[in-house]
Structure 1
Amino acid sequence: MSDDQNPWQTIRLDIADKVATLTLNRPDRLNALTPALFGEATAAIDAALAAGVRALVLTGEGRAFCSGADLVLEGEDALPDDLGVLLDQHYNPFVRKIAGLDIPVVTAINGPAVGAGLGLALLGDITVAARSAYLLLAFVNIGLVPDAGATWLVAQAVGRARALEMALLGEKMGAEEARAAGLVTRVVEDGETLAQTQAIAARLANGPTIAIGMIRKQVAAALTQRLDETLATERANQSRAGLTADFKEAVAAFAEKRQPLFKGA
């Protein structure tokens, strides 16, 4: 989708080769989050799904991935006295939407991911960070608590002690340290982040989409399930996966000694 076709003010959507790239597009504010941005991002994802995309890339324009909530808005977008209302109406629905997608999500962390922006960055099934990027749970520095799922996402990745250190001290964590801690998947050279992320997304988009969608939710569920519950989830998902055309194609390709051609069905 070219710039003159882009109907949004705070985001940009580009679709190519079954991959949708959703770019937070407020570079003058380091892509700080607003209610309008969440609304436009949600609409863009719906449009991408309607167009048949099979993978989603989330990134930021300019030198930041996302600096978190915009704290200096006025008018309808001004912060309410009760920030819980803001989370109820905008932040949490968007996080749930990303988590509930049936297509894979890959994040291109092109620069700082701060506060709620850190939460969005870690929503990716695979996370690719620029070498100069950093993560920052900045909430404590302004007297707030982590939101946008950051508490769960960080604690699940690094454990209680490290999560508390990050949340209580509010210090920057560089890309390499974040990779070593299990918060990001890959670190690449600056300027290569988006291209490498889109290459990963393209590979996923050409994979068995139904199985991939179930895998992302199955792993998330396993983090809070007992073994017996996970076994039941695996059983239910495997029954569905075994009935897909992609599985039949994989079996045929194996017998014919060729690469399978998955169609996402």
Structure 2
Amino acid sequence: MDFKYIKFIDHGEWLEIRLNRPEIFNAIHKELLMELFSAFDRVENHSKCRCVVLSGEGKAFCSGQDLKVLKESYEDIPIKEFIKKYYNPLIIKIRSIKLPVIAKINGPAVGAGCALALATDLVLVCKEAYLAFNFIQIGLVPDAGTSFFLLRRVGYSKAFELTTTGRKVFGEEAEIMGLVDRCVEASELDELVKHYVEHYSSAPEMALKLIKQGLNKSLEMNLDQVLEMEAEHQNKAGSSDEFAEGIRAFNEKRSPNFGKNKRA
């Protein structure tokens, strides 16, 4: 699939998927959602990739659903069916990718743009950027997994406040409340992303995959189930070549080489 509304940039050990409608702040429409799904589908078949960065071209990350095309393009498609056909599969796809997915928020992330960011594993922002769950301002409710991810990041009271006011939460406040993971000056954002990309590119892939899988599954488990899952995952990790290399490196007092470009 050729991409028109996103950029798929191959950096070898990591991939960048960049929303590419900068003239309207990377607003989302059906075609962009389809391209995003295809791009993340391609990630799963990329043999060298160890990390994915989701970003936005220009001054914004994503301004949310493109409302100007709704009446023209979607008038015969029920909202429920549109969400279930285009948004929901994409959110599940992002969350199920075995590799770490980083959201790079360089500017506004609004509405569905927030949903895309929160579906990733790590959200990095600059101080000037803001997130706004502004669904209520057009008479709608949060969708695309917002209720799920936001509640787990900030708790009920703050999630209620943010979704019922739709106010802007700028970088520093977002980091303090746990809405995002790291906030830096705009001039430092690229370097921060690079730091995490390099870390994940040299980390043990089997362990990363199992950590992500375990954290996701544990949200719906009780303690007994989590303990059982952890034992199973530890058995898998402990049987890997990466664990053997980690032990050798520890005993030899050197940094481990977890086999870059090799899928666990």
Deviation at 1:34, TM superposition (A): 1.4
Q: Which residue of 2 aligns with 1:3?
A: none
Q: What do residues 34-66 of structure 1 show as CA deviations (whole Å, max 9, x unaligned)?
A: 121121122222333323211100011111111
TM-score, normalised to structure 2's length? 0.93
- Confirm whether residue 239 of structure 1 aligns to residue 197 of structure 2: no
Q: Which residue of 1 aligns with 2:222?
A: 226
Q: Which residue of 2 aligns with 1:150?
A: 146
Q: Which residue of 1 aligns with 2:115?
A: 119
Deviation at 1:95, TM superposition (A): 0.4
TM-score, normalised to structure 1's length? 0.92
- Confirm whether residue 15 of structure 1 aligns to residue 10 of structure 2: yes
- Report the Cα distance in structure 2 between the residues aligned to 1:259 and 1:183, rounded to whole angstroms: 33
User: Helix, strand or coil: the match of 2:158?
Assistant: helix
Deviation at 1:218, TM superposition (A): 1.3
Q: What do residues 110-157 of structure 1 show as CA deviations (whole Å, max 9, x unaligned)?
A: 111111110111122221101100110110000111011111111111
Q: Which residue of 2 aligns with 1:178?
A: 174
Give, as a single letter, the amino acid of the residue that structure 2 aligns with 1:154. L
Q: Which residue of 1 aligns with 2:245?
A: 249
**What is the 5 A alignment of 1:135-214?**
135-214=131-210
Deviation at 1:99, TM superposition (A): 0.6
Q: Which residue of 2 aligns with 1:56?
A: 52
Give, as a single letter, the amino acid of the residue that structure 2 aligns with 1:210. M
Q: What do residues 57-91 of structure 1 show as CA deviations (whole Å, max 9, x unaligned)?
A: 00111111111111111698435552111111110
Of residues 95-104 and 201-210 in structure 1, the stretch that sits farther from structure 2 once superposed is: 201-210
C-alpha distance 194-36 of structure 1, shift in aligned 2 (>3 A): farther
Gaps of 5+ in 2: none
Q: Which residue of 1 aligns with 2:83?
A: 87
User: Helix, strand or coil: the match of 2:67?
Assistant: coil
Q: What do residues 176-196 of structure 1 show as CA deviations (whole Å, max 9, x unaligned)?
A: 111011011111111432342
Give, as a single letter, the amino acid of the residue that structure 2 aligns with 1:235. A
Give, as a single letter, the amino acid of the residue that structure 2 aligns with 1:175. G
C-alpha distance 77-259 of structure 1, shift in aligned 2 (>3 A): farther
- Report the Cα distance in structure 2 between the residues aligned to 1:248 and 1:193, rounded to whole angstroms: 35
- Percent of aligned pairs sharing the same letter: 36
C-alpha distance 155-256 of structure 1, shift in aligned 2 (>3 A): same
- Confirm whether residue 102 of structure 1 aligns to residue 66 of structure 2: no
- Confirm whether residue 24 of structure 1 aligns to residue 19 of structure 2: yes
